[in-house]
Amino acid sequence: MKKFLTSAMVALAAIGVVVPTAVSAQEDDFSTVMITDQGGVDDKSFNQSAWEGIQEWGQANGLEEGVNGYHYLQSNTDSDYITNLNNAISANFDLIFGIGFKLEAAVQQIAEQNPEQHFAMVDANVDLPNVVSANFKDHEAAFLAGVAAAMSTETNHVGFVGGVESVIIDRFEAGFVEGVKAVNPDVEISVEYVGSFVDASQGKQLAAAMYANGADIIFQAAGDSGNGVFSEARDLVTADPSKNIYVIGVDRDQEEEGLVEVDGEERRLTLTSTLKGIGPAVKTLLDEAKAGNFQAGNRVFGLAEDGVGITEGQLSEDVLTALEDYKAQIIAGEIEIPETPER
């Protein structure tokens, strides 16, 4: 599958202060673990991208999956975060990842209590000398998704389905809406939130209502709940192949989630997907820690650093050309994209 607007997501810009490593991991003795949020390691989105990055890094460095190499601990509820972080410390992992902004408070608390332990916080900023944080300019990629939706819609009505209202998902909504308006301010935009990242059935219901009300493209930023949006699109097209509807995926190329067979032929319902370089970011942080160069501070990944992007998907050549132009304007600072939506 070809990718668009993302060529070197490993090239990441650092914003922060280099802090000397308290304990340097030995080259042949390094272990890492990630604590998932409720979405789970196989959410086909955020957590899965992080875990795949850790798996690839572990295998490339000759480590085995498990407590002596690379591992993950599943969080089924918010109350699992503290328990899993403490279990990771007891198991003597060298670098502990907290995946998702919902772990921010737990990582803050446990990192303060364990100043010699190194942590990596993804999608939130924990300002402590033993924590490195990785954050992404999701609003930049979402803006491009909005441009793609506005240029591709046939009904002049598009939708956004978010997981939980938060600083992170606000960026997706704000960027998407701004991108749509940049192309055509007359396009109707429906916005709904599931209230959870793990409720695919509710995501499906929200998508059903949007499609029924005339939206033909829905951008989902809802973790596992977003799988319900894909499910509804597939079901609608299976029942009525004349429907011309699409989903925009999030965080990774979700092309496969939009595949459906109609009359013996394959239809692709993923218009495009925004990309978030979680895997490459995780690998970079692991390389530094393993080499004894742990760097506390906040790393920020945007279009300029190839930290976010968008796929070609089913986009027309005209749309792809327009996206390249908008990307260049964003990188040059000619377009300012809000990080919070107007409500």
Residue 20 clears pLDDT 90, i.e. is over it: no
Tell me the C-alpha distance between 110 and 103, whole Å.
11
Cβ–Cβ under 8 Å, residues 40 and 47: yes
- What would the CATH number be for the domain defined by 138-275+308-331? 3.40.50.2300
Distance CA 20, CA 2 (A): 40
* Percentage of the chain modeled with pLDDT above 70: 92
| pLDDT at residue 24, as a whole number | 41
> What's the mean pLDDT in 272-293?
95
The predicted pLDDT at position 4 comes to 47
Asked if the model's pLDDT at residue 18 lies above 90, the reply is no
The confidence score (pLDDT) of residue 28 equals: 58
pLDDT over 80 (residue 343): no
Average pLDDT value over all residues in the chain: 91
What's the longest Cα–Cα distance across the chain?
62
- Provide the pLDDT confidence category of residue 121 given band limits of 50, 70 and 90: very high
Domain boundary assignment for the chain: 3-137+276-305, 138-275+308-331
In this prediction, residue 5 carries a pLDDT of 46
pLDDT of the residue at 305: 86
Q: Do residues 111 and 86 touch, judged by C-beta distance below 8 A?
A: no
Please determine, for residue 87, whether its predicted confidence score (pLDDT) is greater than 60. yes
Superfamily name and number for 3-137+276-305: Response regulator (3.40.50.2300)
- pLDDT tier for residue 57 given thresholds of 50, 70 and 90: very high
Q: Express each pLDDT in 227-275 by its tens digit.
A: 999 999 999 999 999 999 999 999 999 999 999 999 889 999 999 999 9
Tokens of 238: 């299976």
Residue 30's pLDDT band (boundaries 50, 70, 90)? very high
- DSSP-derived secondary structure for 23-73: SPPBTTB--EEEE--TT-TTSSSHHHHHHHHHHHHHHHTT--BSTTSEEEE
DSSP 221-272: E-GGGGHHHHHHHHHHHHH-TT---EEEE-SS--GGGGEEEETTEEEE-EEE
Give the pLDDT of residue 45.
79
> Residue 115 above 70 pLDDT?
yes
Question: Is residue 315 within 8 Å of residue 273, measured between CB atoms?
Answer: no
> What is the C-alpha end-to-end distance of the chain, expressed in Å?
37
- Mean predicted confidence (pLDDT) in 103-118: 98
| pLDDT single digits (tens) 191-234 | 999 999 999 999 999 999 999 999 999 999 999 999 999 999 99
pLDDT number for residue 162: 98
Cα distances (Å, whole numbers) of residue 48 to 90, 252, 256, 315, 324: 24, 9, 14, 25, 28
d(CA 209, CA 203): 10
Q: Which residues contact 259 (CB under 8 A, 6 or more apart)?
A: 266, 267, 268, 269, 270
* Dihedral sign computed on CA atoms, order 79, 174, 323, 180: positive
pLDDT tens by residue, 60-71: 999 999 999 999
CB of 306 closer than 8 Å to CB of 140: no
Of 337, 255, 270, 341, the closest CA to residue 302 belongs to 337
Number of Cβ atoms within 10 Å of the Cβ of 313: 25
Amino acid 278: pLDDT: 92
* Token pair for 104: 């921010």
C-alpha gyration radius of the chain: 20
